[in-house]
Structures are given as structure tokens and as C-alpha cells.
Amino acid sequence: MAGTAPPEAKPCTPRVSEKLGVRFVEVCAEGFFISATPIPCSPEEQKSAACDAVTALEASPLAGPGKNRHLDALVTDAETAARVCKERFGGRLPTPLEREQARLSLGLASLRVREEPGEFARLRMLAQQEWVTEGASATRYPSVSTPQQPGGDVLLGCAAEPAQPQAHWVPIGESCDERPVEADVRSPDCAVGVPGTRARFELGCDPDHTMRSRTRPEDAAFRCLLPAAAIAPQPSR
């Protein structure tokens, strides 16, 4: 009938699954699953590869172990990242568009919490770059990078919790003063927001989990992507 508006599409509910110990979440409107965190270092890789502390942020309603917690992420060159996705999971690196869709729909972001040098204690919440690829060309997501400090960044392992609506927050990439240590927890005096979303997180960092980054200029973290047909979803808890 002329003038009748088409029916509104029903919002989809993302699903979650696991493959080889890695949690995958669905970008359901686009028909693919993406690893909820950057790919972690295996016990063997811990001995020889660069494994940096990364806090994997996620704003989806899905439950799951490791959500909004830190991990030691494998940071490597683009060729190795693509090979790991193919050989370990039967998948591939996401395209820039797919990675952006995962950020906007699920709030997926990789946070690198760095001690800032200076007289006063400050923490900078940087975006951990990840490999994305389109055709034969590999690029970094997000494209904005921050040079490492001489000798390597001192990184903190942090857990994240949803921030209160009234909390003072800064976008990823900014820094805040560090609060005095309380109950063996280090934390910035601000929440951090995922750009382009309403996701805001408070951070609590483990004072016993600090490390000096061994990342090379040619390295980045990475996530793997699988088509929905290639993975068996599990009920969310």
C-alpha cells in the first residue's frame, strides 16, 4: 500500500561461543563472529614472543570468562597474525570495516594502560593497535598510534567495570592522575570511554602485574574473525 512504512527490523541478539579456549562474540547484523579479546599468548609464546598487557573492553550484554579483564596479548607482525588466525582457528583477520562494526555494536576495544614518566603519577589509556587487512594490504586499527617510551612502555594489567553515569571520563588516548593505591589496587582518577559508543569503564589495576613492553615497530595485536556458519554458538550465561 502506498505510503505504508516498511516494518522495522527486529534488533538481533548477539551470540557467544568458544574455540580453543578463545571466546568469540557475534556481530549478528553482519553475520560474523570475532574474538572478544586480542589473541592471547600461548604458554610457549610467553617464553619467546612479545606478550603485552592489554585490557580487553566489551560493552555487550553477553556474559563470559575474561570479559573486561586484562590478558597478555600476542603482538607480532601482520604475516604471523594472519597465519595464526588461519591455522589455529580456520579464520582470518577482520577488515577495517568489520573491526569498526565490532567496536560500534559491541564496544570492543583494546586498552593499553601505560605509566607516564614525570614528577606526578599519571596513567595514560592508549588504544592497543590491532592488525586488519583488506585484500593483500595489512593496516593497523585504529590508525592513530603513540610512540613508545625509550626502553619500552611500562604497562599495567587492569580490570574494567561499567562506570557510573555521573563519572568523569576521558576518551581512549588521554591520561589521568593516578589515585593513591587502595586495597592493593591502582587506578586512574577518571573513567575511560570507547569512542563512538556510550561505553564508559572504571579501571582497577593489579600492582603486581606490570611489565615492560617488548613490542617492535612492526608489531601489533590482532583478533580473528570467523563466519557465523563456521562456529557453533553456545547459550549466553
* CB contact at 8 A, 233 and 15: yes
Instruction: Kindly state the DSSP code that residue 196 receives in the 8-state scheme.
Output: T
Residue 43 exposed, middle or buried by CB count within 10 Å (0-12, 13-18, 19+): exposed
Residue-level pLDDT at 195: 87
Residue 89 exposed, middle or buried by CB count within 10 Å (0-12, 13-18, 19+): buried
Residue-level pLDDT at 50: 86
Residue written as grid cell 555487550: 60
Backbone phi and psi for residue 189, each to the nearest 5 degrees, phi listed first: -85, 45
How much is the pTM? 0.88
Residue-level pLDDT at 44: 82
Distances (CA, A) of 85 to 78, 132, 153, 218: 11, 12, 27, 18
**Count of alpha carbons within 13 angstroms of residue 152, beta-carbon side:** 14
**What totals of helices (H) and strands (E) does the chain contain, helices first?**
3, 16
Residue 59 exposed, middle or buried by CB count within 10 Å (0-12, 13-18, 19+): buried
Burial 13-26 (b: 16+ CB within 10 A, else e): ebbbbebeebbbbb
Residue 68 exposed, middle or buried by CB count within 10 Å (0-12, 13-18, 19+): buried
pLDDT-flagged residues of the chain (< 50): 1
Distances (CA, A) of 24 to 80, 179, 225: 20, 34, 8
Instruction: Pick the closest to residue 40 from 84, 104, 79 (CA basis).
Output: 84
Residues 6+ apart with CB under 8 A from 236: 15, 16, 61, 62, 63, 64
Percent helix / strand / coil, the chain, rounded to 5: 15, 40, 45
Q: Which residue ranges make up each domain of the chain?
A: 16-229
Express each pLDDT in 148-172 by its tens digit: 776 789 999 999 999 998 999 999 9
Residue-level pLDDT at 136: 84
